[in-house]
Amino acid sequence: MFWTGDLIARNAPIRRRAVPPPREAPHIGRWIAAYLGLAIGDALGATVEFLTPNEIRHEHGVHREITGGGWLRLKAGRVTDDTTMSLALGEAILACGCVEAQAAAAAFDAWMRAKPVDIGNTVRRNLIQFRKTGNPEAPASEHDAGNGAAMRTLPVALACYGRPPETAIFASRAQAHVTHHNTLSDAACETLIFMVHDLLAGRDPGEVQRERADELVRRHPVFSYGKKRVENPSGYVVDTMQAVFQSFYGTNSFEECLLDVVNRGGDADTTGAIAGMLAGARYGSEAIPARWLKALDPQVASQCSNQARALLTQASSGAASDRIPTRPDPAP
């Protein structure tokens, strides 16, 4: 496959040179923190997934430790589909040197065959369809507005760092449409990718909020997150994004952000994973509580760190930009 940026570059090399460089040299600590944040949010939230805030209060007071359990009966420190699908996607990106829909679909299919601890209904349905048809793009569906594509955007964000926005959008849709071909899901995925880019570059979070989160609401008012506190967020990508935005912008540290979001209950592993990714990119490794780092499954922790490093190397070397696109050129 292909990066949209490459198609542009092939046809108009001058424009390629005009692409501005990233605002700041990549800071590996933030890349790793974003990936560890994703996994920590997933592991922390999984304990209280599908509980209401009242049930959480009753059982845990404030849920603040990575203890495993929950409806999946996880061992402490283990993660769920949010992290493992991200890792599978990242491996496919590294193997191809680019974000490629067929490779992403094959990686997700292999992931499903390995019997993951949990899997979303939309993911399962569209991967079964992929097995039958070999087509890595699910048909567009208004019913597929779940958060299953948004939860695994991080490797695409890292791989597309420093590239033109249209490249990131193209890559995002290539991976997302394997299982979720939906306008709201696309808008959420793309917003998250641009937020990660901005936060990794050290941009002011208030500016990022205005340019990204508020822009998402302007384009799709359904994502409006300013009013009522979202509790018990469902797997609907709008609920997920509202809860994440409220926690991310309503708190001032990595720990506070994650505690705020997972104690809302509902799809807490996924809100935890997405908020953890953003908070890691914003606050960096030093801000991650040592007790959470210690509790995270060591194998998962090293997979996340290694993949963040490898994606940084790939993004910095520009390896993907030299790939020959496999998409047919538009008819003359």
Binding site for Mg ion (CB under 5 A): 80-82, 267, 269-270
CB of 82 to Mg ion, least distance (A): 5
CA-based nearest residue to 271, from 188, 151, 163? 151
CB of 118 to Mg ion, least distance (A): 5
CB of 59 to Mg ion, least distance (A): 18
Identify which of residues 6 and 267 has a Cβ nearer to Mg ion in the complex.
Answer: 267
Report the b/e string of 176-185 with b at 16+ CB within 10 A: bbbbbbbebb
Task: Tell me the β-bridge partners of 74.
Answer: 69
Identify which of residues 190 and 267 has a Cβ nearer to Mg ion in the complex.
Answer: 267
Identify which of residues 79 and 106 has a Cβ nearer to Mg ion in the complex.
Answer: 79
Contact 112, 149 (CB under 8 A): no
CB of 79 to Mg ion, least distance (A): 8
Q: Which residue number has the CB closest to Mg ion? A: 80
Residues 6+ apart with CB under 8 A from 12: none
Identify which of residues 168 and 189 has a Cβ nearer to Mg ion in the complex.
Answer: 189
Identify which of residues 80 and 263 has a Cβ nearer to Mg ion in the complex.
Answer: 80
Q: Decide: helix, strand or coil at residue 8.
A: helix
* Cα angle 208, 100, 43; round to 5: 55
CA-based nearest residue to 54, from 263, 228, 275, 269? 263
Rg (CA), the chain: 19
Structure tokens that stand for 162 in this block:
């420093």
CB of 279 to Mg ion, least distance (A): 18
Contact 232, 242 (CB under 8 A): no
Q: Give the count of beta carbons closer than 10 Å to the beta carbon of residue 12.
A: 11
CB of 251 to Mg ion, least distance (A): 21
Identify which of residues 137 and 267 has a Cβ nearer to Mg ion in the complex.
Answer: 267
